[in-house]
């Protein structure tokens, strides 16, 4: 579904990611892991159209989308729940969801919202609340829900568990598995490698903007050197 071929991206003269090759098959969860500054978030923002593509190709559904603006990429089926959630804090939960579904006709809103609320029932009680007043976990749910409102084929989620209570993390990961069951393709950036490996089909390990390992999550767990060096597992 998504193929990154020799992707290099960054900000002006700064290169955050160099020569990244990654293939994300349809209906799978792919974990992008690595230390801080490895270029994981920059990769997601580049695929979303917000970080300059400096070299390589971004191929989505067999089309090169590297030259398309962000507004067009979401129409092609790519949505993002970014690092820091970046909700529209002065808008209500319902309006945040409305913005998420802005590319679709207004009459689809209710059905799409109900799908999100079925996934995250906690949001149902907070529809009228300002997004800025939600707890961290609720904000993360809303961030994912807002992305889902775009009816994406691929949803990219950055730092899913960062700063959240374990119970909230559980709820979010349960939602990911349900999304996968519904056929969604997910690209997940996560610090918590144990969590990623528990749900991911594939894993790509980045360090200093380069791929150092790529393969199935099962193989990642079995590789002792990788587990010790990059995954924090023993």
Tokens at residue 187, please? 């690209």
Q: Which residues pair with 64 in a beta bridge?
A: 59
Under the binding rule (CB under 8 A), the answer on residue 76 touching other proteins is no
Residues 169-228 that bind other proteins (CB under 8 A): none
Residue showing tokens 């069951």: 181
Pairing mode of beta strands 185-189, 29-33: parallel
Interface with other proteins, residue 88, by CB under 8 A: yes
Interface segment toward other proteins; rule CB under 8 A; list 47-55, 59-67, 170-178, 203-211: 47-55
Question: Shortest Cβ distance from residue 133 to other proteins (Å)?
Answer: 11
| Contact region with other proteins (CB under 8 A), list: 22-30, 80-88, 118-126, 163-171 | 80-88
Q: Which position among 25, 37, 132, 163 is part of the footprint of other proteins (CB under 8 A)?
A: 132
Site membership for other proteins, residue 113 (CB under 8 A): no
Q: Which is nearer to other proteins, 102 or 177 (CB)?
A: 102
DSSP string, 46-100: HHHT-SEEEEEEEEETTEE-TTS-HHHHHHHTEEEE-TT----TTSBHHHHHHHH
Q: Any contact of residue 155 with other proteins (CB under 8 A)?
A: no
Angle at 43 between CA 38 and CA 45, to 5 degrees: 125
Q: Beginning with the edge strand found earlier in the chain, give each strand of the sheet holding 29-33 in spatial order.
A: 78-81, 154-158, 185-189, 29-33, 202-207, 210-216
Compute, in degrees rounded to 10, the torsion defined by CA atoms 178, 184, 187, 191.
-10
Residue 103 or 177 with smaller CB distance to other proteins = 103
Q: Is 95 in the site for other proteins (CB under 8 A)?
A: yes
d(CA 88, CA 131): 7
| Residue choice 29, 74, 119, 220 for contact with other proteins (CB under 8 A) | 74
CB of 182 to other proteins, least distance (A): 20
Enumerate binding residues for other proteins (CB under 8 A). Answer: 48-50, 69-71, 74-75, 79-80, 82, 86, 88-91, 95-96, 98-103, 106, 132, 146, 149-150
């Amino acid at each position: 579904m998504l193929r990154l071929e020799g992707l290099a991206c960054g900000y002006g003269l700064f290169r955050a990611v160099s020569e990244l090759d990654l293939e994300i098959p349809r209906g799978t969860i792919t974990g992008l892991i690595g230390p801080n500054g490895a270029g994981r978030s920059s990769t997601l923002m580049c695929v979303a159209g917000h970080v300059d593509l400096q070299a390589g190709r971004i191929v989505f559904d067999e089309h090169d989308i590297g030259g398309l603006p962000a507004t067009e990429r979401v129409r092609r089926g790519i949505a993002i729940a970014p690092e820091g959630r970046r909700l529209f804090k002065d808008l209500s939960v319902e309006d945040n969801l409305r913005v998420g579904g802005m590319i679709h006709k207004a009459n689809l809103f209710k059905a799409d919202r109900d799908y999100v609320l079925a996934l995250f029932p906690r949001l149902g009680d907070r529809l009228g609340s300002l997004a800025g007043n939600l707890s961290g976990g609720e904000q993360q749910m809303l961030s994912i829900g807002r992305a889902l409102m775009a009816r994406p084929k691929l949803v990219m989620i950055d730092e899913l568990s960062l700063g959240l209570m374990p119970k909230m993390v559980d709820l979010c990961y349960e939602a990911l598995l349900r999304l996968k069951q519904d056929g969604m393709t997910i690209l997940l950036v996560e610090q918590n490698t144990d969590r990623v490996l528990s749900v991911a089909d594939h894993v790509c390990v980045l360090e200093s903007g380069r791929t150092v390992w790529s393969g199935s999550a099962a193989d990642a767990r079995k590789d002792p050197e990788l587990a010790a060096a990059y995954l924090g597992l023993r």
